[in-house]
Structure 1
Amino acid sequence: MLKHIVMWKLKDHAEGADRAANAVEMKRRLDECAHIVPGMHAFEVTIAQPGLEATYDVVLYSEFEDKVALDAYAQHPLHKALVPFIGAIRAERQCMDYVV
């Protein structure tokens, strides 16, 4: 099992919208990627919640059978279509993949 965790800090304003609106739109688009490839076992996207500690705006937690499944996700057309939007609205990105 391979876990893939990504966190994004968003720009205050980008693509004609503020940080909060872009976080909602980013989550919506990422949620469309759930279960798009075989071997994807978990896929959860969340936005920082008021009253709870958060140093990033959006986080993705996902689990894949193996690196082959993660690579299939990364190359899937729905995922690839997200890359320009996320690139335009993000200020920072952190990622960690690990095997359990």
Structure 2
Amino acid sequence: MVRHIVMWKMSDEAKANDFDGKVQLLREKFDDMIGKIDGLLEIELRKNYKPGNFDVSLLCTFDSREAEEAYQTNPIHVAVKQIIGQWAVERACVDYDV
């Protein structure tokens, strides 16, 4: 199994205009991937409740490295990445074997 963790710092503009609504939209889109992307076992997007370097985090569990790699180019995921790309100013990621 593989864990894929991503954190985003969102722009001040994105946070100033219905940020909770944006987070909810992203959560729904990520949750909707379960059962539609092969090898994606778990997915969880959450908003950081403390001030810090990053505002939103994503935790995914895949059944293999190959499944995580395929996820990166899956059209469902690519569409969500485009939404996040409009709001994020910084991104950090780590992938590891479980």
Q: What residue number does 1:35 align with?
A: 35
Give the direction of change, closer, same or farther, for the CA distance of 1:35–1:45 in structure 2 (3 Å limit): farther
What are the equivalent positions in structure 2 for 1:13-92 lying under 5 Å apart? 13-14=13-14, 17-49=17-49, 53=50, 55=52, 56-92=54-90
Post-superposition, which runs of at least 4 consecutive aligned residues in structure 1 deviate over 4 A? none
Identity within the alignment, %: 33
The question of whether the paired residues in 1 share the 8 Å contact of 2:26 and 2:45 is answered with no
More helix by share: 2
CA RMSD of aligned residues (A): 2.1
Query: Please, what TM-score do these two structures have when normalized by structure 1?
Result: 0.79
Unaligned runs of 5+ in 1: none
Unaligned runs of 5+ in 2: none
Query: Please, what TM-score do these two structures have when normalized by structure 2?
Result: 0.80
> Between Structure 1 and Structure 2, how many residues are aligned?
96
